[in-house]
């Protein structure tokens, strides 16, 4: 509400400027600032948030420009109608491209950047070679625009203002939404985001579409502003260069970062560079980009925020850590079937190498099952298959009767399977609280309300003793704490089944004891646990049953004290005589 | 479409492919073996082109002598750029951004010194062609192709038959194990960075001889050459040349059969097809 | 003492893998280091080979302290490694992998003679010297990895779980080969999960658990020590 009180007067003043008689020259100047703010902010929605840096923003901007140019001059559409058409077309093409390139999961960053750069050339070529432009450019000076700003300049200024408000509002709302948090998680670690329940493919497509739509809409307006559009000017490298620099300078991860960068660069440029030597302006921007990348990679805004807002400190009175989490009980009501997870004939090959062969295993509800075995026996592979990280070669895995094999990891997560990583993979740019909160939000299929999410997050942090470190970033935590954040994240999803992958690795004896206690309390809360572990003393202390794997097959299964005395098991570890 | 026209087109495409391969080689080796995406490769090539033009028109120095200056100069530039990467511990994606900036810087420099006007380096042999049956083969284009072939061959030989080349490939594959056997990957990487830049310089000499120069032309090459580098396989000099020829012929035939203006789409379409079949690099 | 590891502490970031660890290898010895997974055996090998550097402690080879020496210089002191999982240069030929083993200048002068010795030890490698290393079977790849290590003409050969992923038949062969190498004068530091075989061929042995040495001594005594059983089986 407070934010609205601050912004509303500013917006009102800006909207009134044409009516207050401000000269066209100044209105145009402001329009240019708006222009760059829109382009930079829209770029940030895809690239700043997800980390997929696009060098092809000019392509979508250009699509917008030429959509309006064509519709208005060749088909006599009214100008205002061309704007949504431009935005929609840009978004549609973005989705088509995204369907191809985002399909494969993680596409390396530099490849995506160069690919989008190429898209620009292709679109430019198509436009140039067809009747859209025919190489001669398109004149739009005769197009009529609604006079919403007294003069023509004023009206274009108003359209620019609307575009700026739309872009900033969109970026702001995304940033503060569940969708936005998912995007930021994708930026930090896409695989983990997917496993924690974020529908990464869908989200990337949506952000690409929104980003391109805004750029296309701005293109539509800009076409009329310049009055004469050419392929060379529209698709020049200027747009991606400036947009990237502005966003990096201002801080690409923040909703206002690109906008701030845009204002700074635009104002500086006009103050320093005269029209005759445009290349100096570009050179300056390029030099600034190089310097910023080398020296200040995360931008101005985030550093400022960090120093002002002070992201340390806890989240208020922590609840007693000793209480078993009441909020954290598994989401699904306890069923009657004693078997929670059924692996049937699970086989996995990587190229020519058999990692798992015909693994058949039942996991009982509420038990702690240990997976042990020598190096290369397939333990981690099996965990990765249950969580959906690897596809099945053959066989099925069912969770309480529902098949989970072959489903996307984020769907499996939402069905109640959570996992931790041997080497903690936390979202580096999110605080401990935000890390846990994200998993609470995305971890269930129905989604919890904000209050429920908060309650679960607090509980998870209290349970793992991290309440005092809620505002800390992962880089400042030691290994033990990072592992416990992994616990908290997994618990926040209220899973029926928890997969722990060598969670004790790297901990000193006291920390090991602490972790073992934690695992016992998690089990007491009703969660079934499968854990991969080498520390045999812990296995014997914790596990109800142990499954010994060797060379991709289940060698033995049963109570630890009997199974570990089985001669076949002994010989696997000690080797033949 | 007569046979003669078809063959002429195909030959033209092969020769064009030589130029593509020449440019793609440096990019491919840098990306494949050093894990650095050097977008400034293109700008460096054009800088070499403009220098060739300058030496030739202002100082009367013929191209084959300019090369003697350009190669060591660009080798040094490559080493200098690489030292910046090492000093600031720049990784793959950041290298793309930095070299993007360097590209624009060089382009601005070129525009400042030589203006944005189109320039043409006229040489007596610019119009010379060799007659092979019904086909005319421009001498300069042929020299560029031969040069590309020689360089690709030399690069292949160095990488596969010399200990230094093998060490470089080993270090690119598994740096810690390579260093356990005494391979100092840092030192060999400087040498490779210098060589890649030197090839950009050589490509520039041919660009000056064959084509028209304008700062805006730099970007025209980026899409195609990048596609050629990927299609040919990162780190493979022969692959770059082969892919260059493939794309060159495809473009050339497209230009004569379909419409000259659709040529830029060819490389991109091939790239998309490859992406669809093998999604991740 | 040929190789002396003196109270080293090694870690990855803030995850400490080895605490206050000391072992020694005398000339001509096979020293076996056994212990369960996650105990830190590979970390020990990597630290000695120079791939990791210890935070504390010293690694001394023939009187030279190599703990602070740059990674690519460690092999000059007579150390060669056969890494866990082989880590061959799979896109290069068998021959190239072997030749690269002799990259360091001292080894390079004797390269051809050493190559002949390696081919004598592993005739199959001579046959397949022009095949891509990645196309060989597991056992053959292990031979390439061992051969590559020998090409460096080491005083001490570090072997990290050479029997990993190999069928039982080949495992027996592998250990015979290790003994043959040792008989030619190369000291071997053998890190293994396969306890029986590792202790069978060793002159000295150590047991590592959770980053510390928990037992050491003569192999025939150690094999009956209950702490090994507990470490591996928990009982």
Residues of A within 8 A of C15 (CB-CB) are 479, 505-506
A105 to B107: CB separation less than 8 angstroms, yes or no: no
pLDDT tens digits for C183-234? 999 999 999 888 888 999 999 999 998 888 988 999 988 888 888 888 787 7
For residue A202, give Cα distances in angstroms to A89, A99, A205, A410: 19, 9, 5, 11
Do A198 and A344 belong together in one domain?
A: no
Rounded to the nearest 10°, the torsion over CA A46, A47, A52, A55 is 110
> Nearest Cβ partner of C72 from B163, B169, B182?
B182
If you count residue pairs, one on A and one on C, with CB atoms under 8 Å apart, how many are there? 72
Q: Is B261 on the interface with A (CB under 8 A)?
A: yes
Do A346 and A266 belong together in one domain?
A: no
Residues of C within 8 A of B180 (CB-CB) are 49-51, 71-72, 74-75, 80-81, 83
| H helix intervals, chain B | 3-34, 40-57, 63-87, 92-114, 139-161, 163-173, 175-180, 185-210, 217-231, 237-253, 263-277
Q: Are strands C15-25 and C3-12 parallel, antiparallel or unpaired?
A: antiparallel
What pLDDT sits at residue A113? 82
A535 to C36: CB separation less than 8 angstroms, yes or no: yes
A126 to B276: CB separation less than 8 angstroms, yes or no: no
Q: In sequence order, what DSSP letters do the residues of chain C get, joined into one string?
A: --EEEEEEEEEETTEEEEEEEEEEE-TT-EEEEE--TTSSHHHHHHHHHTSS--SEEEEEETTEE-TTS-GGGGGGGTEEEE-TT----TTSBHHHHHHHHT-SHHHHHTHHHHHHHHHHH-HHHHHTTTSBGGGS-HHHHHHHHHHHHHHT--SEEEEE-TTTT--HHHHHHHHHHHHHHHHTT-EEEEEES-HHHHHHH-SEEEEEETTEEEEEE-HHHHTT-HHHHHHHH--
**Lowest-confidence segment of A131-140, A291-300, A401-410, B80-89 by average pLDDT:** A291-300
Phi, psi at B21, each rounded to 5°: -65, -40
Do A156 and A76 belong together in one domain?
A: yes
Q: Which tokens in the block code for residue A446?
A: 């129905």
User: Do residues A289 and A454 touch, judged by C-beta distance below 8 A?
Assistant: no
Query: In the predicted model, what is the mean pLDDT of chain A?
Result: 86
Q: Which tokens in the block code for residue C1?
A: 């003492």
Q: Order the strands of the C56-61 sheet from edge to edge.
A: C15-25, C3-12, C56-61, C64-65
Cα-atom radius of gyration of chain B, to the nearest Å? Answer: 19
Chain C positions with Cβ closer than 8 Å to A:
12-17, 36-39, 161, 163-165, 168, 171, 193-198, 210, 230-235
Phi, psi at B243, each rounded to 5°: -65, -40
B182 to C87: CB separation less than 8 angstroms, yes or no: no
Residue numbers of C between 75 and 134 with CB closer than 8 Å to B: 75-76, 80-81, 83, 87, 89-92, 96, 99-101, 103-105
> Nearest Cβ partner of B280 from A104, A117, A286?
A104
pLDDT tens digits for C47-96? 999 988 999 999 999 999 998 889 899 999 999 999 998 899 999 999 99
Q: Average pLDDT of A404-408?
A: 89
**Lowest-confidence segment of A225-234, A484-493, B26-35, B121-130 by average pLDDT:** B121-130
Do A46 and A193 belong together in one domain?
A: yes
Do A346 and A455 belong together in one domain?
A: yes
Q: Is A478 on the interface with C (CB under 8 A)?
A: yes
Cα-atom radius of gyration of chain C, to the nearest Å? Answer: 17
pLDDT tens digits for A332-374? 556 678 899 999 999 998 877 888 999 999 999 999 999 998 8
In a domain, A295, yes or no: no
In sequence order, what are the beta bridge partners of B129? B138
Q: Is A134 on the interface with B (CB under 8 A)?
A: no
What pLDDT sits at residue A311? 46
Question: Residue A442: which domain range?
Answer: 339-574
User: Do residues A198 and A206 touch, judged by C-beta distance below 8 A?
Assistant: no
Above pLDDT 90, what percent of chain C?
60
Question: How many angstroms away from the CA of C139 is the closest CA of chain A?
Answer: 14
Query: d(Cα A433, Cα A467) in Å, to the nearest integer?
Result: 8
User: Do residues A144 and B280 touch, judged by C-beta distance below 8 A?
Assistant: no
> Nearest Cβ partner of C194 from A505, A534, A575?
A575
Identify the CA nearest to C153 among candidates C189, C103, C85: C103
Tokens 């300078």 locate to A249
pLDDT tens digits for A45-94? 999 999 898 988 999 999 999 999 999 888 888 888 999 999 999 999 99
**Lowest-confidence segment of A16-25, A459-468, A542-551, B75-84 by average pLDDT:** A16-25
What pLDDT sits at residue A335? 67
> Nearest Cβ partner of B108 from A117, A128, A280?
A280
Do A125 and A220 belong together in one domain?
A: yes
Query: d(Cα C89, Cα B31) in Å, to the nearest integer?
Result: 19
In a domain, A133, yes or no: yes
- Find the CATH number of the domain harbouring A345: 3.40.50.300
Stretches where chain B sits below pLDDT 50 are 280-281
Query: d(Cα A292, Cα C157) in Å, to the nearest integer?
Result: 47
Q: Is B275 on the interface with A (CB under 8 A)?
A: yes
Q: Are strands C79-82 and C156-160 parallel, antiparallel or unpaired?
A: parallel
Q: Which tokens in the block code for residue B215?
A: 């700062």
In a domain, A63, yes or no: yes
DSSP-derived letter for residue A553 is E
User: Do residues A109 and A51 touch, judged by C-beta distance below 8 A?
Assistant: yes
Query: d(Cα A544, Cα A559) in Å, to the nearest integer?
Result: 6
Question: How many angstroms away from the CA of C207 is the closest CA of chain B?
Answer: 25
> Nearest Cβ partner of A286 from B108, B222, B262?
B108
Instruction: Using the 3D structure, point to which of A239, A271, A303 is the last residue of a domain.
Output: A271
Instruction: Using the 3D structure, point to which of A244, A271, A298 is the last residue of a domain.
Output: A271
Question: How many angstroms away from the CA of B277 is the closest CA of chain C?
Answer: 22
A286 to B104: CB separation less than 8 angstroms, yes or no: yes
A290 to B105: CB separation less than 8 angstroms, yes or no: yes
Do A234 and A372 belong together in one domain?
A: no
Residues of A within 8 A of B92 (CB-CB) are 108-110
Evaluate if residue A106 carries a pLDDT over 80. no
Q: Is A115 on the interface with B (CB under 8 A)?
A: yes
Q: Which tokens in the block code for residue A537?
A: 């003393």
Phi, psi at A146, each rounded to 5°: -60, 135
What is the SS3 assignment for B244?
Answer: helix
Instruction: Using the 3D structure, point to which of A271, A293, A312 is the last residue of a domain.
Output: A271
Do A105 and A236 belong together in one domain?
A: yes
Q: Which helix (H) or strand (E) holds A346?
A: strand A339-350
> Nearest Cβ partner of B111 from A125, A241, A279?
A279
In a domain, A321, yes or no: no
If you count residue pairs, one on B and one on C, with CB atoms under 8 Å apart, how many are there? 66
Question: How many angstroms away from the CA of A312 is the closest CA of chain C?
Answer: 21
What is the SS3 assignment for A449?
Answer: coil
Q: Which helix (H) or strand (E) holds A307?
A: helix A300-309
Chain C: partners with 3+ C-beta pairs within 8 Å: A, B
Q: Is A112 on the interface with B (CB under 8 A)?
A: no
User: Do residues A402 and A339 touch, judged by C-beta distance below 8 A?
Assistant: no
Residues of A within 8 A of B101 (CB-CB) are 241, 286-287, 289-290, 293
Please, which contacts does A7-13 make with residues 24 or more away whose CB atoms are closer than 8 Å?
A: A11/A165
In sequence order, what are the beta bridge partners of C156? C79, C187
Q: Please, what sign has the CA dihedral across residues C150, C155, C161, C163?
A: positive
Higher pLDDT, B5 or C176: C176
C193 to A535: CB separation less than 8 angstroms, yes or no: no
What is the SS3 assignment for A394?
Answer: strand
Question: How many angstroms away from the CA of C127 is the closest CA of chain B?
Answer: 20
Do A481 and A565 belong together in one domain?
A: yes
Write the secondary structure of A7-48 as one string of H (helix), E (strand) and C (coil): HHHHHHHHHHCCCCCCCHHHHHHHHHHHHHHHHHHHHHHHHH
To probe the interface with B, which of A290, A295, A296 has the most B CB atoms within 10 Å?
Answer: A290
If you count residue pairs, one on A and one on B, with CB atoms under 8 Å apart, how many are there? 119
> Nearest Cβ partner of A283 from B105, B216, B222?
B105
Identify the CA nearest to C120 among candidates C93, C147, C141, C99: C147
In a domain, A238, yes or no: yes
Residues of C within 8 A of B185 (CB-CB) are 72
State the angle between helix axes of B185-210 and B63-87 in degrees (0 to 180), rounded to the nearest 10.
Answer: 140
Do A350 and A256 belong together in one domain?
A: no
Query: d(Cα B30, Cα B39) in Å, to the nearest integer?
Result: 10
Question: How many degrees, rounded to 5, is the angle at CA A171 between CA A178 and CA A414?
Answer: 15
**ipTM confidence:** 0.91
Query: d(Cα C200, Cα C192) in Å, to the nearest integer?
Result: 12
Query: d(Cα B200, Cα B27) in Å, to the nearest integer?
Result: 9
Query: d(Cα C104, Cα C115) in Å, to the nearest integer?
Result: 14
What pLDDT sits at residue A333? 54
Identify the CA nearest to A293 among candidates B103, B98, B81: B98
Judged by phi (left if over 0) then psi (alpha if -120 to 50, else beta), residue C29 lies in beta
Residue numbers of A between 288 and 327 with CB closer than 8 Å to B: 289-290, 293-295, 297
User: Do residues A531 and A522 touch, judged by C-beta distance below 8 A?
Assistant: no
How many CB atoms neighbour CB A531 within 10 A?
24
Phi, psi at C189, each rounded to 5°: -105, 110
Question: How many angstroms away from the CA of B89 is the closest CA of chain C?
Answer: 18
> Nearest Cβ partner of B166 from C46, C72, C92?
C92
Tokens 């890190």 locate to C191
Do A562 and A414 belong together in one domain?
A: yes
| H helix intervals, A44-176 | 49-50, 57-73, 79-101, 109-129, 152-175
Do A348 and A255 belong together in one domain?
A: no
User: Do residues C52 and A552 touch, judged by C-beta distance below 8 A?
Assistant: no
Terminal CA-CA length for chain B: 39
Chain A: partners with 3+ C-beta pairs within 8 Å: B, C
CATH architecture of B3-277: Orthogonal Bundle (1.10)
- Give A123's contacts (C-beta < 8 A, 6+ positions apart): A59, A62, A63, A235
In a domain, A7, yes or no: no
pLDDT tens digits for A297-331? 666 666 666 666 544 444 443 344 434 445 666 76
In a domain, A535, yes or no: yes
In a domain, A85, yes or no: yes
> Nearest Cβ partner of B96 from A104, A113, A294?
A113
Q: Which tokens in the block code for residue A34?
A: 């708006």
What pLDDT sits at residue A118? 80
**How many folded domains does chain A comprise?**
2
Question: How many angstroms away from the CA of C228 is the closest CA of chain B?
Answer: 31
C99 to B167: CB separation less than 8 angstroms, yes or no: no
Rounded to the nearest 10°, the torsion over CA C127, C129, C132, C136 is 40
Question: How many degrees, rounded to 5, is the angle at CA B106 between CA B103 and CA B111?
Answer: 125
pLDDT tens digits for C19-43? 899 999 999 999 999 988 778 888 9
Query: d(Cα B245, Cα B22) in Å, to the nearest integer?
Result: 11
Q: Is A380 on the interface with B (CB under 8 A)?
A: no
Cα-atom radius of gyration of chain A, to the nearest Å? Answer: 28
What pLDDT sits at residue C168? 77
């Amino acid at each position: 509400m407070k934010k609205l009180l601050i912004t509303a007067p500013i917006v009102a003043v800006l909207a009134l400027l044409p009516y207050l008689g401000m000269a066209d020259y100044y209105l145009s100047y402001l329009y240019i600032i708006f222009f760059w703010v829109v382009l930079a902010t829209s770029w940030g929605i895809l690239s700043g948030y997800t980390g997929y840096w696009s060098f092809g923003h000019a392509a979508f901007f250009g699509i917008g420009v030429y959509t309006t140019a064509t519709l208005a001059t060749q088909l006599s559409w009214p100008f205002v109608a061309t704007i949504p058409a431009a935005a929609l077309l840009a978004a549609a093409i973005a989705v088509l491209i995204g369907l191809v390139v985002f399909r494969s999961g993680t596409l390396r960053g530099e490849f995506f950047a160069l690919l989008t750069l190429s898209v620009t050339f292709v679109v430019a070529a198509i436009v140039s070679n067809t009747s859209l432009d025919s190489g001669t450019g398109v004149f739009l000076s005769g197009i009529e625009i609604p006079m919403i700003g007294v003069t023509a300049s004023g009206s274009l200024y108003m359209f620019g203002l609307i575009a700026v408000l739309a872009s900033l509002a969109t970026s702001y709302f995304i940033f503060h939404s569940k969708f936005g948090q998912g995007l930021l998680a994708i930026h930090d670690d896409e695989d983990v985001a997917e496993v924690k329940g974020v529908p990464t493919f869908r989200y990337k497509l949506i952000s690409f579409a929104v980003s391109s739509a805004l750029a296309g809409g701005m293109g539509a307006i800009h076409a009329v502003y310049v009055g004469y559009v050419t392929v060379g000017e529209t698709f020049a490298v200027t747009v991606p260069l400036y947009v990237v620099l502005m966003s990096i300078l201002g801080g690409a991860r923040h909703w206002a970062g690109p906008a701030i960068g845009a204002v700074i660069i635009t104002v500086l440029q006009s103050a320093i560079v005269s029209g005759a030597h445009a290349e100096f302006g570009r050179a300056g921007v390029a030099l600034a980009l190089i310097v910023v990348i080398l020296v200040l990679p995360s931008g101005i805004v985030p550093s400022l925020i960090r120093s002002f807002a002070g992201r340390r400190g806890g989240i208020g009175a922590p609840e007693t850590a000793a209480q078993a989490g009441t909020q954290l009980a598994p989401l699904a009501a306890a069923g009657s079937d004693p078997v929670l997870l059924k692996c049937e004939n699970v086989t996995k090959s990587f190229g020519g190498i058999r990692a798992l062969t015909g693994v058949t295993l039942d996991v009982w509800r509420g038990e702690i099952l240990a997976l042990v075995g020598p190096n290369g026996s397939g333990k981690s592979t099996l965990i990765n298959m249950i969580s959906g990280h690897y596809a099945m070669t053959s066989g099925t895995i069912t969770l309480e009767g529902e098949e989970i094999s072959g489903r996307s990891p984020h769907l499996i997560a939402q069905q109640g399977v959570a996992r931790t990583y041997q080497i903690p993979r936390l979202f580096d740019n999110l605080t401990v609280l935000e890390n846990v909160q994200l998993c609470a939000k995305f971890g269930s299929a129905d989604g919890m309300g904000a209050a429920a999410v908060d309650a679960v997050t607090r509980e998870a942090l209290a349970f793992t003793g991290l309440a005092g470190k809620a505002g800390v970033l992962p880089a400042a935590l030691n290994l033990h704490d990072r592992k416990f954040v992994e616990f908290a994240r997994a618990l926040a999803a209220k899973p029926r089944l928890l997969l722990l992958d060598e969670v004790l690795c790297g901990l000193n004896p006291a920390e090991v004891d602490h972790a073992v206690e934690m695992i016992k309390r998690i089990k007491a809360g009703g969660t079934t646990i499968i854990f991969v572990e080498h520390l045999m003393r812990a296995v014997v202390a914790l596990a109800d049953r142990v499954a010994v794997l060797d060379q991709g097959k289940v060698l033995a299964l049963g109570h630890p004290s009997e199974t570990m005395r089985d001669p076949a098991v002994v010989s696997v570890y000690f080797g033949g005589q | 479409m007569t046979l003669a026209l078809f063959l002429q087109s195909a030959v033209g495409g092969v020769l064009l492919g030589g130029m593509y391969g020449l440019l793609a080689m440096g990019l491919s080796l840098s990306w494949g073996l050093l894990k650095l995406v050097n977008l400034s490769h293109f700008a460096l090539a054009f800088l070499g082109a403009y220098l060739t033009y300058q030496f030739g028109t202002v100082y009367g120095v013929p191209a084959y002598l300019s090369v003697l200056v350009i190669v060591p100069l660009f080798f040094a530039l490559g080493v200098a750029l690489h030292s910046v990467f090492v000093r600031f511990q720049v990784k793959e994606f950041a290298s793309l951004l930095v070299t993007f900036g360097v590209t624009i810087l060089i382009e601005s420099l070129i525009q400042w010194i030589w203006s944005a006007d189109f320039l043409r380096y006229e040489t007596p042999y610019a119009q010379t062609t060799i007659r092979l049956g019904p086909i005319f083969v421009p001498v300069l284009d042929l020299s560029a192709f031969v040069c590309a072939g020689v360089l690709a061959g030399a690069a292949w030989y160095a990488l596969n038959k010399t200990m230094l080349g093998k060490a470089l490939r080993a270090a690119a594959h598994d740096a810690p194990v390579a260093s356990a056997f005494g391979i100092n990957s840092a030192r060999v990487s400087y040498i490779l960075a210098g060589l890649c830049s030197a090839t950009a310089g050589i490509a520039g000499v041919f660009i000056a001889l064959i084509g028209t120069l304008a700062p805006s032309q730099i970007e025209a090459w980026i899409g195609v050459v990048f596609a050629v580098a990927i299609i040919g396989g990162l780190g493979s000099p022969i692959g770059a040349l082969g892919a260059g020829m493939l794309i060159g012929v495809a473009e050339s035939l497209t230009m004569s059969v379909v419409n000259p203006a659709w040529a830029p789409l060819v490389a991109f379409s091939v790239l998309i097809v490859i992406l669809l079949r093998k999604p991740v690099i | 003492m040929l190789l002396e590891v003196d109270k080293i502490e090694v870690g990855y970031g803030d995850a400490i893998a080895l605490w206050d660890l000391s072992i020694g290898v005398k000339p001509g010895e096979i020293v076996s280091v056994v212990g369960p997974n996650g105990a830190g055996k590979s970390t020990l090998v990597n630290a000695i080979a120079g791939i990791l550097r210890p935070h504390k402690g010293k690694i001394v080879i023939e009187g030279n302290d190599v703990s602070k020496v740059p990674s690519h210089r460690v092999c000059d002191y007579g150390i060669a490694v056969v890494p866990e999982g082989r880590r061959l240069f799979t896109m290069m030929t068998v021959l190239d992998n072997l030749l690269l083993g002799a990259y360091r200048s001292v080894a390079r002068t004797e390269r051809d003679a050493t190559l002949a010795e390696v081919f004598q030890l592993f005739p199959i490698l001579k046959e397949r010297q022009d095949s891509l290393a990645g196309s060989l079977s597991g056992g053959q790849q292990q031979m390439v990895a061992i051969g590559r290590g020998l090409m460096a003409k080491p005083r001490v050969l570090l072997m990290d779980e050479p029997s990993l992923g190999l069928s039982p038949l080949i495992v027996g062969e592998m250990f015979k080969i290790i003994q043959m190498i040792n008989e030619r004068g190369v000291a071997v530091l053998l890190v293994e999960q396969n306890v029986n075989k590792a202790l069978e061929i060793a002159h000295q042995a150590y047991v590592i658990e959770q980053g510390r040495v928990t037992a050491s001594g003569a192999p025939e005594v150690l094999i009956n020590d209950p702490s090994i059983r507990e470490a591996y089986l928990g009982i």
